[in-house]
Amino acid sequence: MSEKRTKLFDEWAETYDDSVTKVSGFPFEGYDQVLETIVRLTEPSAGMTVLDVGIGTGNLAGRLTAAGCRVWGMDFSTRMLAKAREKLPGVELIKADLAGDWPIDVDLTFDRVVSAYVFHEFDCETKVGYLRRFADQHLAEHGRLVIGDVSFRSVKARREAHRQWEGAWDEDEHYWAADRAIEALGRSGLVVGYTQVSFCGGVYVIEPAPVDRG
């Protein structure tokens, strides 16, 4: 991330939880429901290994640890990680920037890779590249990625929301359009399911396409 974005998230750490749970409308309408949907589609069980990409203050990770999962958390913000450490002292935290080096052991794989409200920082091509990399390098056999974010059913729905919420829209961010994202992920060899949770929040379940062993 740029120095500007890093500073923004470090400063946001103190008020992040209130800003995502106590404010209605775009972009965090249905925030708690999005997290609960991620957990449901993760199908957590005791001992399941999970990597939370962009753990932030630990809101999603806390739900997964409560379900018995062994969670690792990755984030680029030092202050967000400090908040996560206060809440979740048993979680393994990794300071890393998706746009930089990933200091995750190449042999370390996870039953699930999850994320909440992170990937809208990147354009569609970059999203696909990162998700393909997680699937190839850090997903255990029969694993899946479960990604919740600011997302709309279609390019058309995103365009309409942009007009309605122009004052709150961050033009530097790349909010998902499910129709376009599913097509792009499919071209990269990933199979995708999608659930629209609120008008601006959705959850993707992403798995590698089955290998044809002929």
Query: How much is the pLDDT for 206?
Result: 98
Q: How far apart are CA 53 and CA 114, in angstroms?
A: 6
Enter the pTM of the model. Answer: 0.94
pLDDT for 107 equals 67
**What does the pLDDT read at residue 101?**
78
pLDDT of residue 212: 61
Residue 1's pLDDT is what? 60
Q: Please report the pLDDT score of residue 21 as a whole number.
A: 86
Considering the four listed CATH numbers 3.40.50.150, 1.10.10.10, 3.40.50.620, 1.10.645.10, the one that applies to the domain covering 3-208 is: 3.40.50.150
Rounded to whole angstroms, the Cα distance separating 160 from 166 reads 10
**pLDDT of 7:** 85
- Is the separation of the CB atoms in 143 and 112 below 8 Å? yes
pLDDT tens, residue by residue, 98-133 = 888 777 765 689 999 999 999 999 999 999 999 999
**CB-CB contact of 61 with 55 (8 Å):** yes
Strand (E) or helix (H) holding 6: helix 3-12
Query: What is the structure's pLDDT at 22?
Result: 80
Q: How far apart are CA 130 and CA 182, in angstroms?
A: 15
Domain residue limits, the chain: 3-208
Task: Tell me which residues of the chain have a pLDDT lower than 70.
Answer: 1-2, 105-107, 211-214
For position 214, what pLDDT does the model report?
58
Cα–Cα dist 110/119, whole Å: 19
